[in-house]
Structure 1
Amino acid sequence: MSHQLILHHYPRSPFSEKVRAILGFKGLHWNSVIIPTVMPKPDVISLTGGYRRTPLLQIGADIYCDTALIADVLERLAPTPTLYPAESAGVARIQAQWADFTLFWTVITYCFQPAGVQSVFGNQPPEQIKAFIADRAAFRGNAPRMHVPEAVGALRLYLQQLEAQLADGRPWLLGRSTSIADFSVYHGIWFVQGATAVAGILEAHPHLVAWMERVRALGHGTSETMESGAAVALAAASTPASTEGEDFLDLHGLARGERVTVAPTDYGIDPVEGELVLSRPNEVAVRRVDARAGEVVVHFPRLGFQVRKVE
């Protein structure tokens, strides 16, 4: 690889754990930038232009948002071992999408019931817990919310279904080969395990717990600490990867170089404005200039994001 991998994350972030586990699976070395759990996040915003979900993957002056895209980027850079084995690639992506949204929000609601809140936050003082909850409430905006009784019922069913999926003795969710489905399901169940006061719901599912240990044993690769300011400075000193000559998929009546915004369609819908420079079947990217980070290209997955022309 010509550029070092920089993961902007924090320890208890479920989606960060998904990427850390993928880095371990692929045996990669990476730089660890710990970011704040709540706003303000000035270095994150310098790099992304507004997007503030966690984690981010930085490679020089290219910033990759959303773990679905980050997984694809890591697969391109390190194709072996693969996240998308030929015999299960399609269903693996479908189960991953289910886990990253449906299972994830069920888990969050379940873990943030009154009995689970303190174990989620450990020994953090009450004012920090209140700040986190207020930040996430604003982050979700008007997105639909599940209530605790529904989350309890749904999670019980999902755990039963995952247990049944593993009951034939297969080592991984889709058979003999590890896939993206394992890492997407894993990070939600990992969050439940960390909420010790309510983690007893897992005890009735021994195949699932054993599978969790197999994923955990893959580790997180090797890493070294980097300060966030150094990561921003590295972006400023780097040049984004070239997209010259690459096919441009036009789905919006937009040409390469037009000013657009890109934003999630569900929650955390802070738009990122820039010059549209890349449009692939699974990815879009905009070029922007920041006073501190310089010229950067911010990449997003196609699914779950919308592109709008700046009038």
Structure 2
Amino acid sequence: MPDIIFHHYQNSPFSEKIRLIFGFKKLAWKSVFIPPVMPKPNLTALTGGYRRTPVLQIGADIYCDTALIADVLERVAPSPSLYPKEIEGLSRTLAQWADATLFWTVIAYVFQPVAMPYLLGPLTPEQMKAFGADRAAMRGNAPRMAVGEATGNLKDYLGRLDNMLDGGKPYLLGAKASIADFSVYHCIWFLQLAQPLAGILDAAPNVKAWAARMAAFGHGEPGKLGADAALDVAREGRLEAGDIEFIDTHGVARGERVTITATDYALDPVEGELVLSTSREWAVKRTDPIAGEVIVHFPRVGFQLKKIEP
């Protein structure tokens, strides 16, 4: 199998979710560091405009969103499973809550002036302004939670999670780690980075002990790869859309041109020829002057597909 290539940056919480899954599954992977703010010319050449972090690349196949990336890694390395059969539905549901509700609550709580140097490192006023403008563009018109509400909600959520771990349970849903643990963990990891504000975890000792167990999975076997080399891999890669059952829920046929866009934030449409439509995944084929011909994959949940009318 071609190398697993991971486009990320160090302090990205969703990247930490996948890095820890690499450790859980004991996978080797190639690390490509990307800028935390736009422009990201090498990455957008691969994705067609999708700007969120992280992105997974296997040959000329580009996978967006950590929910889908986790599914891809499960296909690559089925054991140990992120989706134990007896808790698969519950684990996916809890993971979706963590990636949305818990994540945005933590973001609203930690992005206070006292914690910014711990989250972003030492930035000049110009760099801080650029970061703020980039994140404002990503959020668009989405409302932002006030610190007071975030603080109260986060205390409540931490109490619920702590309760789930009562009785010495090693993981949130019992004896086995699942996708739910990795989705909750990246939020707690980012909260711990915000050191002056991380004391809120003291009231949730079970969560703190669980987070330490999760961190022990490590990050697998990372190796370095340059951004230009990743583009070379894409240009030389074999496209893998495959002859998979095509599930149409939009009145769009295979081969028609569509856009795929996130439904919550970073609403940058990716345009291409629809080549894959399964119960959980869409993919479009597109050609870029730098990256060549690639297939960009998205999960159905959290994204919308629209046909481009001639």
TM value normalised by structure 1? 0.98
- Distance in 2, Cα, partners of 1:150 & 1:60: 44
1:267 matched to 2:265? The reply is yes
- Distance in 1, Cα, partners of 2:59 & 2:254: 22
- Distance in 2, Cα, partners of 1:159 & 1:146: 17
What does residue 302 of structure 1 align with?
300
1:182 matched to 2:181? The reply is yes
Q: 1:288 aligns with which of 275, 278, 286?
A: 286
* Cα offset, 1:218, TM superposition: 0.2
CA contact (8 A) 1:103 1:188 kept: yes
Residue 86 of structure 2: SS of its match in structure 1?
Answer: coil
What does residue 53 of structure 1 align with?
52
Q: Deviations over 1:221-266 (max 9, x none)?
A: 001110111101110111211423x210000001000000000011
* Cα offset, 1:306, TM superposition: 0.4
Q: Deviations over 1:188-242 (max 9, x none)?
A: 0100000001111111211110100001000000011101111011101112114
CA contact (8 A) 2:241 2:275 kept: no
Matched residue count: 309
1:4 matched to 2:11? The reply is no
What's the % identity of the aligned pairs? 60
Q: Deviations over 1:140-162 (max 9, x none)?
A: 10112211111001000001111
Moved over 3 A (4+): none
- Distance in 1, Cα, partners of 2:104 & 2:231: 31
* Cα offset, 1:128, TM superposition: 1.7
CA contact (8 A) 2:274 2:285 kept: yes
- Distance in 1, Cα, partners of 2:241 & 2:192: 42
* Cα offset, 1:124, TM superposition: 2.7
- Distance in 1, Cα, partners of 2:223 & 2:114: 35
Equivalent residue letter for 1:240 = L
CA contact (8 A) 2:248 2:277 kept: yes
* Cα offset, 1:97, TM superposition: 0.2
- Distance in 1, Cα, partners of 2:145 & 2:122: 27
Equivalent residue letter for 2:283 = A
Q: Deviations over 1:90-134 (max 9, x none)?
A: 100000000000000000010002332232223233322221121
Q: Deviations over 1:36-86 (max 9, x none)?
A: 010110001100000010000000000000000000000011000000001
- Distance in 1, Cα, partners of 2:173 & 2:79: 18
What does residue 208 of structure 2 align with?
209
Higher mean displacement: 211-220 or 118-127: 118-127
For structure 1, the residue ranges without an aligned partner over 5 or more in a row are none
Equivalent residue letter for 2:191 = V
Q: Deviations over 1:167-195 (max 9, x none)?
A: 11100000000100000000001000000
What does residue 100 of structure 1 align with?
99
Equivalent residue letter for 1:249 = I
Equivalent residue letter for 1:286 = V
- Any residues of structure 2 matched to 1:113-192 within 5 Å, and which? 113-192=112-191
- Distance in 2, Cα, partners of 1:123 & 1:50: 28
- Distance in 2, Cα, partners of 1:126 & 1:26: 41
- Distance in 1, Cα, partners of 2:164 & 2:232: 46
Residue 83 of structure 1: SS of its match in structure 2?
Answer: coil
- Distance in 2, Cα, partners of 1:4 & 1:118: 34
Higher mean displacement: 160-169 or 294-303: 160-169
TM value normalised by structure 2? 0.98
- Distance in 1, Cα, partners of 2:126 & 2:185: 30
Equivalent residue letter for 1:304 = G
Residue 114 of structure 2: SS of its match in structure 1?
Answer: helix
- Distance in 2, Cα, partners of 1:187 & 1:115: 21
- Distance in 2, Cα, partners of 1:243 & 1:124: 46
Equivalent residue letter for 1:196 = Q
For structure 2, the residue ranges without an aligned partner over 5 or more in a row are none
